[in-house]
Amino acid sequence: MSAPRVFSGQEVSQHNNRQSCWIIVHGKVYDVTDFLDEHPGGSKIILKYAGKDATKEYEPIHPPDAITTNLPLEKHLGSVDLKTVEKVEVVITSEERARQERVAARPPLSEVLNLHDFEAVARQVMPEKAWAYYSSAADDEITIRENHAAYHRIWFRPRIMRNVTTVDWSTTILGHRSSMPLYITATALGKLGHPDGELNLTRAAAKHGVIQMIPTLASCSFDEIVDAAQPGQVQFFQLYVNKDREITKRIVQHAEKRGIKGLFITVDAPQLGRREKDMRMKFEADDPSEVKKAGSDGVDRSQGAARAISSFIDPGLNWDDLKWFKSITKMPLILKGVQCWEDALEAYDAGLAGVVLSNHGGRQLDFARSGIEILVEVVRELGERRGLKFPNEKFQLFVDGGVRRATDVLKAVALGATAVGVGRPFLYAFSSYGFEGVDKALQILHDEFEMNLRLLGAPTIKDVVPEMVDASNLGIHVVSVPSDRLYESNYESMQPARLRVI
């Protein structure tokens, strides 16, 4: 084999058009001419970087190996002498300057008192597109709000005169110790919020003894995230099932080999939901002539970042596939995105290790019910039909969506959940403050658990029992509740279509 070629920036820059399109990513030169029309995000964005260094644009939305696994080897042309590459001119707009000023004016972490605060800061300091992507939810965004609001329909029945000198909120999840009944759930594209992406979560999870669920669509590679873990640190893996089952098999078996302790198969996203806040953002960011050309580059670019990169997900996934999953891995299998007792029962009967009662953070089917509401019916029906008691070691119930306080977690635990997944608040924490933000978010939760266990009269998590909550209103969707001012002031109104500035 001949030694890889080293190009000069000048040479690469000649290939700056549709007929011959080379790009530089992480110091390597790729010929993407034939790939232009296959790029899930459309050809236009690649052509913008034709002949140039695309690393900055590429990094947040692609796992590092995306090019190497998708582009035939003969298109890997060699490397480039980076000293000779002209820097891509970054135009700092007045909006960006204003944003950077807001970043500098972030409150110190000592003034961040709760998880809502991270959201309030993130909304102001994150780049607009990243904020739109993380915060968006399906259609009219009714379910995302319901996820949080549902917790308002559950009230406590605390016990008094119990010795709560010492309280302990640690537990076990799928047999693994966790310092609290909570895990960091999978969320895609971490580098949109911070250059270290998901590694912020790995490091904070290690420090606090909580479990991180690694997403299929992380910005960091799977191996980077596993490598960043401390010896003995437990990680789960969230799987989007690829239409090509050989790829799925490779991913799953690799995860198992790397020591992943639970496989959470996402079952609520055969097609990605419409996140209009995200879509509108992408649309507005392009130049006005784009309106006429939408779709002309082979991809409907108005669909937002997530849809563009999700076309590999298999909508054909069905119950018959579970046998196959069992044949390729010994990891415990959990379905993530179960939304009624009938499917929870089917998962139990299929011998799975558990289910996550979830509507994907309100990002999929609008008017899907909250996980906490589904929990109550699952506990009731699986109790009646299979004699199960929850929390249950053999078949564990998890809930995610809308959790902002330890009291939310304790409500779910009282109602039978083993643990609760938290996603966006940690994204907002690292987008605003990096690792220290996630560290602080977890410390806030520890403090909230300690106080709330005392006030509930529950020395340990096992003492948080169904009798400690009144969930009788949970299924009634229209009840008057005191408004949640922190949450409501962060929650952004959706925008209708606007006239263009000509």
Closer residue to ligand 173 in complex, CB, 269/410: 269
From 15, 62, 208, 360, active-site residue: 360
Q: Which of residues 149-188 bind ligand 173 (CB under 6 A)?
A: 188
Spell out the residues 6+ positions from residue 498 whose beta carbon is closer than 8 angstroms to its own. none
Give the whole-angstrom CA distance, residue 443 versus residue 434: 15
Q: Which stretch binds ligand 173 (CB under 6 A): 108-116, 302-310, 330-338, 449-457?
A: 302-310
Among 149, 309, 419, 441, binds ligand 173 (CB under 6 A): 309
**How far apart are CB 337 and ligand 173 at their closest, in Å?**
10
The C-alpha angle with vertex 274 and arms to 271 and 275, in degrees rounded to 5, equals: 130
Is 360 a residue of the active site? yes
The answer to the question of residue 242 lying near ligand 173 (CB under 6 A) is no
From 196, 268, 366, 408, active-site residue: 268
The answer to the question of residue 363 lying near ligand 173 (CB under 6 A) is yes
The answer to the question of residue 338 lying near ligand 173 (CB under 6 A) is no
Is 194 a residue of the active site? no
Among 126, 182, 228, 272, binds ligand 173 (CB under 6 A): 272
The answer to the question of residue 130 lying near ligand 173 (CB under 6 A) is no
What is the length of the chain? 502
Among 32, 67, 173, 306, binds ligand 173 (CB under 6 A): 306
If we measure between CA atoms, which residue out of 121, 61, 133, 124 comes closest to residue 95? 124
Q: Which stretch binds ligand 173 (CB under 6 A): 75-83, 91-99, 303-311, 446-454?
A: 303-311
Give the whole-angstrom CA distance, residue 393 versus residue 390: 8
Pairing of strands 354-357, 396-400: parallel
The answer to the question of residue 310 lying near ligand 173 (CB under 6 A) is yes
Neighbours of 4 (CB within 10 A): 12
In sequence order, what E strands does 151-262 have? 155-156, 171-173, 176-178, 182-184, 211-214, 235-239
The answer to the question of residue 267 lying near ligand 173 (CB under 6 A) is no
Tokens (6 digits) for 194: 């911070």
**Side-chain-facing half-sphere of 310: CA atoms under 13 Å:** 18
**How far apart are CB 278 and ligand 173 at their closest, in Å?**
8
The C-alpha angle with vertex 325 and arms to 324 and 329, in degrees rounded to 5, equals: 120
Number of residues interacting with ligand 173: please give it, by CB under 6 A.
Answer: 9
Number of H helices, E strands in the chain: 20, 17
The answer to the question of residue 217 lying near ligand 173 (CB under 6 A) is yes
The answer to the question of residue 62 lying near ligand 173 (CB under 6 A) is no
Tokens (6 digits) for 278: 């995200």
Pairing of strands 182-184, 211-214: parallel
Closer residue to ligand 173 in complex, CB, 15/360: 360
List of residues contacting ligand 173 (CB under 6 A):
188, 217, 269, 272, 306, 309-310, 360, 363
Question: Which residues are designated catalytic?
Answer: 240, 268, 360
